[in-house]
Amino acid sequence: MTNFRLRVFGVTAAAGLAAALLVPGSAAADSCSAGHSCFYDNGNFTNLLWRAPACGSYNLGDSNQFNPPINDRISSVDNNSPSTITYYDWRGFWYELGSTSPYQRTLMGSYDNTIDRVDISC
């Protein structure tokens, strides 16, 4: 079994634990190939929206970069890369929601379907 650390944003510790317990073996989860960051529409690391091609800053609502846009859709992230991923919501300015450390996975919790931009450290 993959030994990964799971973070859940914006929920109580008890709720976070419950959410973490929903993905023990991740039998149904899609795998994210080594060195990449994968962003999923569903909260159990399934229905891949996007696999980041490289580090950098990505505006998920920019139709020049994403067609169709994938802002307000990310529900879980598998960061199988050495980069730190930082998440932002557009609230008239870029509001920082949190981040995922290298080689960790994150359930978006109360930030489900909220992320508009990701910065992937180089």
Site for Ca ion, rule CB under 5 A: 41, 72-73, 75, 89, 113-114, 116
Residue number, 4 or 95, with CB nearest to Ca ion: 95
Q: How far is the CB of 6 from Ca ion (least distance, A)?
A: 17
CA distance 25 to 69: 31
Q: Are 112 and 72 in contact (CB under 8 A)?
A: no
Q: How far is the CB of 49 from Ca ion (least distance, A)?
A: 8
CA distance 35 to 73: 23
User: Which residue is nearest to Ca ion, using beta carbons?
Assistant: 75
Q: How far is the CB of 7 from Ca ion (least distance, A)?
A: 17
Residue number, 75 or 102, with CB nearest to Ca ion: 75
Residue number, 30 or 41, with CB nearest to Ca ion: 41
Q: Are 109 and 19 in contact (CB under 8 A)?
A: yes
CA distance 106 to 45: 9
